Each structure stands twice: as structure tokens, then as C-alpha cells.
A = this chain, B = another copy of it.
């Protein structure tokens, strides 16, 4: 609408498209809950008051609040395409997400980011992107792509790209690595998100002074308070694994709430289905004692303001009519959702019939399974063994005697000592990292995945080499995905043909496939809650203590590749 039309419509000179009448408005601006009628025209809120409208919806006194915003999410963790993600989260009241396509960028670089941008057009869900700052995350593994400061500067000029995503490389910031500073410079004046678990004192001052003004990695109240005192925006995270809401909620007071936000970071299919999305955080925050208006401000206005989204996060003339109708403020049950004035969800169901935007992507699994050599020659002394700690992404750095048969190191399920391989899949280098892992519990068979943070090489763990090879071959055939294999046969699979990270199927189907995989892994002897996810973090060389990449074993504390034996 032109300014002239906006004014004419807001003055009531023409009937509006829609009037949401008789609402109990959760007014995040005035901090009140008050009765109101909300007029909507051409996708935008035009005013509060009694307007002539072509359609009137009587909300019967139900609560109306702005659509929820996820301040930081890796959309890839949903394992579905953006359209399917939208279908999953919008019935939960989410109308906007700020996503960091860090995972797909590590596989496909700029093409991966462009995929997210293209595939998230016309979804009803407003998808904004932060330019991934750390691709690759480290030099100790082979990623599918690199994003230079120059490419980031280019990305930052694209529509819907708001700023620089989580700067995980805080040592690089503090050490003034030129390429890292060039990325910060490229984003100067734009939002730059942080990722600095445990950073404190002068180093934290320096990290903040570098222009990095948010953090979603706080796990501890004191840590969050120190960051908040500098003006760092605290994105309180409640993901599938990392759950920080209860610990951090005491931080939030009315006087500082504008610096507090909700994010999910990573939510897997079954979490989205069973627990929901940002509504889950709002619900828990209220249940745990936060004032409902503050909780809804954290889920809406605060995040819109931080990211400079001046037409989101509030119900005010000129704002996008992204709205949520709640039955009450205790259950936070989402009755209706409007996006740009269109009703897109009702009673948990997504209403629009959307078609997925097909975006051609190149294959990303370049592995010749028959050429992969899983042989581990024996060595002197004790072997380094990755010790899985149930439910955590950190591991133990164990030393154990390897089991040797026919002159080779073999998996020994009786000792819960399994073989693990990370097979480079992006560039066909033939790199294979080999190691041993304890704590997975497989008695037989193998599990494998092309989801393995952050470089997403092909990771496989098995009780014997044949099944490991069969698992690698199965993933190569599927162009990515996750499998469980026993006796050479695939017994469960979740194909992830989009970059080896995301499915082209419905969320429910992916969730069922993931459940079947877990069940299969359990049948093979694994006792972990989510074996595939645990495995996906065993290749992440930025989290202690011992990890395996395609370049070999990484002693994360020493920040060095180390041999299996000795050293």
C-alpha cells in the first residue's frame, strides 16, 4: 500500500479486509492485556478500534498476541525442508524465524545458503537468514565448502539476510585473526550473533566490543548475568538437547527483559511434534513464574527489535499482521495463527496447501564404499578411545588396550569397544579417519549418518567391518541419510537427500524413520536415548575431549590431531 492508502484505510475511509473483534490483546508495547478490536488490511495491522470490515472474526475474548519469533535456529536440525518446517512450527504460533544455515553451508557453501533463501520464499513463515560466520568450523576436518569474508559481505547484501550468525570462533576474535575480523567488519552495524560458552571477564569485554551482541550458549545464571551486564542479548535456548530455560529464567526481570529472547537452536522432528516450538518456551516460562506479558515480549517484540525488524513483533498500525490467538495464558494453547493477515493454522492444523519450491542441488555424497579401507593396523601401547557420556556432547578421552585379531585392530562388542570411521564425503578425497569408541553398546551391526557436526562427513560406528561398509554404501546410494545395518542388510533408514542433512518427506514420516532407526539401534544393543544424534557429535572437533574427523583423532583440549596409539 502507498502511504496515501495506508492513511486512508487507517482512518476508516474504506472497509478493511478483516477485523479480529473482541480480543483480549496481549499488548507487548504498553505491557498490558486489554480488550481490543484489531483491523487488518492488505496483510498489515491498520489500527485498533471498531472498523468496517469485509470479514469479521469474533475472538470471543480469547488472547491475541503477535506471532512468535525464533531468535536463532538451525533449520536443518528439523531434518525437513523449509516448507515442511513451516508446516510444523506455524500451528505452534511461530510466524518468523531467524535461521543460521550453518549446517548446509558447511556442505554446500553459498549454494546451501541460497537453497535456504529460495526454499523459504512464499511459505507464510517469514524466514530471515544470518550469514554463517564459521564455515568451516575448524581446519581439523574437511568440510564441503568455505565461506570467505568476501562471500559473507556479498551475502549480507541479499534480501532477508540480517547479519552475521553466531561467531563460534571466539579464539579467532580474541587473537585478531585477520579473516575473522574481516567478517566482523563486513557486518559492522548489523546484528552479529555470538556463541561464547563460558567466556568471561576481559575476554568477554573484548568479544562484546568487537560488535558481537548476543549469545545463546549460556547454561549458567552467573554466566548469563555477566553477559547481560554488558548489554549482550541473551537468547535463552530450549532445543532438543540443550535446555537452558529453567536455569536462565531467574535472570529475566521487567527492567532487563528487552535484552532477553527465546530460541530453539536445534529441535529435531520428534521434539517439534511432541513439544512444539517457541510456544513451548512461552508455556514453560509462564509455568515457571514469568509474567505472561514479559514472556510474550521475549517471544516477539524483543527479538524483532534486536534484529531491526520494525514491522514484526508487535500489533501496531503498519506491522505485518502476524498474529496468534491463544485460548489462555496458562496452557498457551494456540487456537489460530495469522500470517500477513491470512489464517494459516487452526487448532493445531496448518491450513494452506503449499507446494515445495524445488531447488536443484548438486549431490553431496562422493564416497565409493568399495574403496573405503577400514583396516586399523595395531600400534604400541594403549589406544585412544572416545568415551561416550550418555546425554552429553562432550566425550571422555580414554586409554584402553585394543583388541587385535589377525594382525588388525577390530571391534570388540564384548568390551563395548566399537570401530568408528569418518569418511570424507564432500570432495572425494578418500580421507577416512579411524578410531575406537566406547559407550555406544552395539552388540552387532552398524549405524551410520551423513549428519555429523559441523562438517557433516559420513560417520559410521559398527561391531564389524562388513556392516560398516554396508552402511557406508547404503548412505552413498541414498545420497545421504542415516541407516542401521545388520548382517549386510539395511534394517532402518532415513534418507536425507538434501545435502545429506534434510529429507524431502513430511516431518511425521521423518520422525517415524528416526524412531525406527533408534529402535533398530536398540535392537542391535545400543542403550543410548538417541544413538544417531550422539554419534553425530562424535565428529565435532570443537567440543572436548576426544573426537574423530576425516583427518583423524582430535584431542580437542590440545587442539591437535593425535595418533590412535602412543603420543
Interface residues of A (CB under 8 A from B): 3-4, 6-8, 10-12, 27, 29-32, 34, 36, 39, 46-49, 51, 173-174, 176, 181, 184-185, 189, 201-203, 205-206, 208-211, 225, 228-231, 253-259, 291, 293-294, 297, 305, 310, 314, 316-318
- Contacting residues, chain B, for A257 (C-beta < 8 A): 255
Most buried by B among A174, A229, A259: A229
Copies held by the complex: 2
Q: Given A174-B11, A254-B254, A255-B291, is A316 in contact with B208 using a C-beta cutoff of 8 Å?
A: yes
Q: Given A208-B316, A254-B254, A316-B208, is A29 in contact with B203 using a C-beta cutoff of 8 Å?
A: no
Which of B46, B176, B230 touches A8 (beta carbons < 8 Å)?
B176
- Measured in the bound complex, the distance between the Cα atoms of B34 and A544 in whole Å is 35
- Measured in the bound complex, the distance between the Cα atoms of B48 and A318 in whole Å is 40
Closest B residue, CB atoms, query A184:
B3
Does A202 contact B47, Cβ atoms closer than 8 Å?
A: yes
- Contacting residues, chain B, for A211 (C-beta < 8 A): 3, 318
- Measured in the bound complex, the distance between the Cα atoms of B222 and A30 in whole Å is 12
The 10 listed contacts between A and B (C-beta, < 8 Å) are: A6-B206, A7-B206, A11-B202, A11-B203, A48-B230, A49-B202, A189-B310, A209-B317, A231-B314, A254-B255
Does A7 contact B314, Cβ atoms closer than 8 Å?
A: no
Other than the given A49-B201, A230-B317, 4 more pairs (CB < 8 A) read A46-B205, A49-B205, A255-B291, A255-B293
Closest B residue, CB atoms, query A11:
B206
- Contacting residues, chain B, for A205 (C-beta < 8 A): 10-11, 39, 46-49, 317
Closest B residue, CB atoms, query A44:
B209
Which of B6, B203, B225, B293 touches A30 (beta carbons < 8 Å)?
B225
- Contacting residues, chain B, for A305 (C-beta < 8 A): 305
Q: Given A29-B228, A230-B48, is A206 in contact with B3 using a C-beta cutoff of 8 Å?
A: no
Does B27 contact A229, Cβ atoms closer than 8 Å?
A: yes
